[in-house]
């Protein structure tokens, strides 16, 4: 039987900020909400979201005989969003000319898939040393597993109105990873039932595209983060939810921090402590002209290990050249 106290200590030891432990069973209510969301077409037709719906909410479909989901959380809050989203935080109209293209905070560090995967694999290795007969797998946005739903189930926080996990300790600038194993734990955390959002609707009101259509209901067809990563070449015409305008991405070339920047739970959230999540560059120091002039080899050298590489230099230049 897995010692919950021991595994928490080990999770902190490999660099996570918090760890929750949930019992494996199908999350029926969360699955039904997700299915309704898909049915309304709010996923913008992303085929991968339509697959393996049952698996997302039942880890036993990923790990045979699964009994326990260990959910680990780490902060990446280096507060770059305070300057990037200063106008939105102050509740005023932005007069930004987009001279310095914007990038979401998480994308300023090394790709978290690499960093967290390494941390999870170390944790899984430690578990196997103590429990040699344990079978399990680790995941960080790399399999059809509903990470936020399982983080809430493990008591790490609640799903905010912007559809992101909010940790009472760290706010929403956090990343998640999971280890699913086939042995029982001696204690399971209580699922998060507290909704700390209350009557607040700052995230809904701040989104310039109105992507948060209702609490915890995100229309990806309008979401700047989604559009800038998955649909950067899309034409915002009649078939799309975003009206045609000079820049429906509002100066963002990768991701978006607006809904998190205005969230009160991030006002006093602590900064990151794990050096692996330190920013590798400052987008506020890279002008539009510099982005347009950077050679491909220099782009690869500077951004190749960050999520920005996924967008690609050619796509970024195409967007910036339109202004």
Q: Residue-wise pLDDT tens for the chain (323 aa)?
A: 999 999 999 999 999 999 999 999 999 999 999 999 999 999 999 999 999 999 999 999 999 999 999 999 999 999 999 999 999 999 887 767 789 999 999 999 999 999 999 999 999 999 999 999 999 999 998 888 999 999 999 999 999 999 999 999 999 999 999 999 999 999 999 998 878 999 999 999 999 999 999 999 999 999 999 999 988 765 444 445 554 444 789 999 999 999 999 999 999 999 999 999 999 999 999 999 999 999 999 999 999 999 999 999 999 999 898 76
Q: What is the DSSP string of 183-220?
A: S-BS--PPPP---TTTT--HHHHH-TT--EEETTEE-T
Catalytic site residues? Answer: 141
What is residue 96's predicted lDDT score, i.e. its pLDDT?
A: 73
Neighbouring C-beta atoms of residue 38, cutoff 10 Å: 15
Q: Locate all alpha helices (DSSP H) within 188-312, ordered by sequence.
A: 202-206, 224-230, 258-261, 288-293, 296-303, 308-311
What is the Cα–Cα distance from 172 to 158, expressed in whole angstroms?
Answer: 10
Are 307 and 281 spatial neighbours (Cβ–Cβ below 8 Å)?
Answer: no
When divided into structural domains, the chain yields a total of 1
The C-alpha atoms of residue 20 and residue 169 are separated, in whole angstroms, by: 13
Q: Please report the pLDDT score of residue 142 as a whole number.
A: 80
DSSP reduced 3-state for 176: strand
pLDDT value, residue 323: 66
User: Structure tokens of 19?
Assistant: 């760890």
Q: How confident is the model at residue 233, as a pLDDT?
A: 60
> Domain limits at 174?
4-321
Pairing of strands 68-75, 18-23: antiparallel
Q: What does the alpha-carbon distance between residue 102 and residue 248 come to, in Å, rounded to a whole number?
A: 13
What pTM did the predictor assign?
Answer: 0.93
Instruction: Give the tokens for residue 261.
Output: 């920047």
What is the structure's pLDDT at 169? 96
| Rounded distance between C-alpha atoms, residue 61 and residue 56, angstroms | 9
189 within 8 A of 223, measured Cβ to Cβ: no
Q: Which H or E element spans position 119?
A: helix 112-130
């Amino acid at each position: 039987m897995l010692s919950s106290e021991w595994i928490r200590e080990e999770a902190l030891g490999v660099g996570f900020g918090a760890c929750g432990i949930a019992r494996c069973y199908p999350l029926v209510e969360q699955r039904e909400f997700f299915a309704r969301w898909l049915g309304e077409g709010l996923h913008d037709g992303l085929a991968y979201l339509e697959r393996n719906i049952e698996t997302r909410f039942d880890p036993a479909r990923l790990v045979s005989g699964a009994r326990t989901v260990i959910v680990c959380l780490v902060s990446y809050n280096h507060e770059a969003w305070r300057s990037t989203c200063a106008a939105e935080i102050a509740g005023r109209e932005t007069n930004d000319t987009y001279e310095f293209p914007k990038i979401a905070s998480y994308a300023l560090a090394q790709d978290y898939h690499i960093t967290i995967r390494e941390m999870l694999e170390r944790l899984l290795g430690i578990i196997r040393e103590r429990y040699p007969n344990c079978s399990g797998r680790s995941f960080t946005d790399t399999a059809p597993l509903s990470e936020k739903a399982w983080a809430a189930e493990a008591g790490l926080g609640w799903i905010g109105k912007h559809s992101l996990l909010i940790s009472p300790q760290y706010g929403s600038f956090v990343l998640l990873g999971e280890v699913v194993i086939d042995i029982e734990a001696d204690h399971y955390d209580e699922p998060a039932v507290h909704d700390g959002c209350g009557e607040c609707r700052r995230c809904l009101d701040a989104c310039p595209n109105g992507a948060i259509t209702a609490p915890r209901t995100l229309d990806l067809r309008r979401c700047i983060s989604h559009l800038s990563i998955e649909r950067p070449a899309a034409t915002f015409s009649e078939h799309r939810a975003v009206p045609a305008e000079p820049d429906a991405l509002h100066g963002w070339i990768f991701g978006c921090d607006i809904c998190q920047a205005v969230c009160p739970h991030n006002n006093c959230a602590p900064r990151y402590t794990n050096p692996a999540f330190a920013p590798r560059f400052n987008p506020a120091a890279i002008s539009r002209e510099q982005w347009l002039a950077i050679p491909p080899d220099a782009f690869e050298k500077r951004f190749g290990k960050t999520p920005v590489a996924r967008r690609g230099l050619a796509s970024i230049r195409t967007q910036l050249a339109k202004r």
